[in-house]
């Protein structure tokens, strides 16, 4: 099939049945959002948010799109902006992998790196800084994925419908991560309407506030974590957590080792959030007493994490892997 434009390759991502990892009595399927042309689940919102802004007259020809992003939304926006002739300026916290930052720059985006160790309300926090840059830039539009209604809309009308059809309308649970909460909120709305028995489970990094908020309603102070793209230190304005039945707190180590196992045993090359989702999905599946059909996501491609969790030396340096687990340190391949 010949595509007229790279943008028509966004979406319609495949589901893969997990066969070589113990899923208890359940059937677990992974949706390969990593197959999107920008490499992640965020291409969908990049396209939908930009086209909505065009329809609503918020972006003018030659204008600059500004966004605060952990990297993947930036890549999705860069893909769409380049095809449509917009400039893109992204504010990225400096803990994000250098592969993501290099990829953004290669796609023509202007990358403004900022501190990862400050929270909302601080002028160097990535979202506050993006807002300031928007105010200072002429003919600009701040996409603001955390508050943009077209972020959850994209997942409600597109991602969720795709999953439901691919599963032949036979599905018991979906395990998602929460960054902006666009995926969760969109899926939640779709399933509330179409199949309210479908359970929503969240995978949340240790240090993020969401697990405690969902289970007790208490808002704690956030810690820090290395898993990229999921976990929160505030409740995003678009978040609808009301239908979340269970939340699993996943450590960096559990997430990274799960991602490595997914690659070794299933050949699925995912990022760190994929590892967190897989760990939570497996924990949920193994607790079940009845067979269930479950979907989770490979949110982005693992090649952005080769210098981090797929690198044995890096894992060792972070105290996440014993030297005896990967042999001699003189092995320079890592």
Residues that bind ligand PMP (CB under 6 A): 40-42, 70, 72, 177-184, 228-230, 271, 273, 299-300
Tokens coding 73: 């939304």
Nearest CB to ligand PMP, comparing residues 72 and 296: 72
Nearest CB to ligand PMP, comparing residues 44 and 253: 44
C-alpha to C-alpha distance for 207 and 203, rounded to whole angstroms: 12
Nearest CB to ligand PMP, comparing residues 63 and 173: 173
N- to C-terminal Cα separation, the chain: 39
User: Min. distance of Cβ 238 from ligand PMP in angstroms?
Assistant: 9
Nearest CB to ligand PMP, comparing residues 93 and 179: 179
User: Min. distance of Cβ 126 from ligand PMP in angstroms?
Assistant: 12
Q: What is the DSSP letter of 265?
A: H
Instruction: Output the residue with the shortest Cβ distance to ligand PMP.
Output: 229
Nearest CB to ligand PMP, comparing residues 266 and 300: 300
What residues does 197 pair with on adjacent strands? none
Give the other-Cβ count within 10 Å of 57's Cβ: 7
φ and ψ of 150, to 5 deg: -75, -10
Burial zone of 109 (CB within 10 Å; 0-12 exposed, 13-18 middle, 19+ buried): buried
Which H or E element spans position 151?
helix 150-154
Which H or E element spans position 313?
helix 312-317
User: Min. distance of Cβ 298 from ligand PMP in angstroms?
Assistant: 9
Nearest CB to ligand PMP, comparing residues 64 and 273: 273
User: Min. distance of Cβ 251 from ligand PMP in angstroms?
Assistant: 17
User: Min. distance of Cβ 324 from ligand PMP in angstroms?
Assistant: 31
Which H or E element spans position 3?
none
CA nearest 312: which of 297, 327, 290?
A: 327
Question: Is 287 a known active-site residue?
Answer: no
Answer yes or no: are the C-beta atoms of 97 and 307 closer than 8 Å.
Answer: yes
CA nearest 166: which of 10, 9, 16, 298?
A: 16
Residues 6+ apart with CB under 8 A from 215: 247
Active-site hit among 19, 31, 42, 87 = 42
User: Min. distance of Cβ 308 from ligand PMP in angstroms?
Assistant: 13
Side-chain half-sphere of 28: how many Cα atoms within 13 Å?
Answer: 27
Residues annotated catalytic, as ranges: 42
């Amino acid at each position: 099939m010949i595509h007229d434009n790279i943008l028509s390759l966004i979406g319609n991502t495949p589901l893969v049945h997990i066969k070589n990892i113990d899923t208890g009595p359940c059937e677990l399927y992974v949706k390969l959002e990593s197959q999107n042309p920008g490499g992640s689940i965020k291409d969908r919102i990049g396209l939908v948010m930009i086209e909505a802004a065009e329809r609503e007259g918020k972006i003018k020809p030659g204008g600059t799109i500004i966004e605060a992003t952990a990297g993947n939304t930036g890549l999705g926006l860069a893909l769409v902006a380049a095809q449509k002739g917009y400039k893109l300026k992204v504010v990225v916290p400096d803990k994000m992998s250098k592969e993501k930052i290099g990829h953004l720059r290669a796609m023509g985006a202007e990358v403004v790196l900022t501190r990862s160790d400050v929270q909302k309300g601080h002028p160097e926090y990535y979202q506050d800084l993006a807002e300031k840059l928007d105010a200072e830039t002429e003919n600009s539009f701040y996409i603001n994925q955390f508050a943009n209604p077209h972020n959850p809309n994209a997942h409600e009308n597109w991602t969720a419908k795709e999953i439901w059809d691919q599963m032949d309308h036979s599905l018991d649970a979906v395990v998602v991560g929460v960054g902006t909460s666009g995926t969760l909120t969109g899926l939640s709305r779709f399933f509330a309407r179409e199949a309210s028995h479908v359970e929503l489970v969240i995978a949340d990094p240790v240090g993020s506030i969401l697990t405690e908020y969902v289970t007790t309603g208490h808002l704690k102070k956030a810690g820090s974590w290395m898993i990229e793209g999921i976990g929160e230190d505030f409740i995003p304005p678009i978040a609808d957590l009301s239908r979340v039945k269970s939340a699993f707190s996943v450590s960096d180590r559990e997430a990274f080792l799960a991602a490595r196992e997914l690659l070794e045993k299933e050949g699925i090359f995912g990022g760190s959030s994929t590892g967190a989702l897989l760990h939570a999905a497996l924990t949920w599946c193994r607790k079940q007493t009845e067979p269930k059909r479950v979907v989770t996501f490979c949110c982005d491609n693992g090649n952005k994490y080769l210098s981090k969790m797929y690198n044995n030396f890096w894992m060792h340096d972070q105290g996440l892997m014993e030297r005896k687990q990967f042999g001699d340190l003189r092995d320079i391949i890592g």
